[in-house]
């Protein structure tokens, strides 16, 4: 999938299923996504609130599995 196709695909499902994660865990969150979810099925928005980044997922099961990895740090 080309970068343009990825962008178009993400725009078709965003905002999708949202998980808010403490900003200190952004690297761990992105690493988990890169290892477990196809690149066109997730997105990341920085500082959506104080000490908070937002991860967007195309599928609900992806969002739930992601949130389970960081149970003490999701809002």
List pLDDT tens digits, range 17-65.
Answer: 999 999 999 999 999 999 999 999 999 999 999 999 999 999 999 999 9
Cβ contact 74:19 at 8 Å: yes
The domain limits of the chain are 3-13+25-69
Phi and psi angles of residue 11, each rounded to the nearest 5 degrees, phi first: -65, -25
Is 67's pLDDT higher than 80? Answer: yes
What's the pLDDT at 29?
A: 96
Distance CA(46)–CA(59), nearest Å, equals 20
Residues in the chain: 75
Tokens standing for residue 66: 């992601």
Provide the pLDDT for residue 54.
Answer: 97
pTM above the 0.85 mark? yes
Residue-level pLDDT at 1: 86
């Amino acid at each position: 999938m080309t970068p343009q196709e990825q962008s178009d695909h993400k725009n078709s499902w965003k905002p999708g299923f949202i998980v808010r994660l403490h900003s200190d865990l952004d690297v761990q969150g992105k690493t988990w996504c890169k290892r477990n979810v196809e690149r066109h099925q997730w997105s990341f928005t920085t500082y959506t609130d104080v000490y908070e980044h937002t991860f967007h997922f195309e599928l609900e099961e992806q969002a739930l599995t992601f949130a389970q990895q960081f149970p003490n740090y999701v809002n």
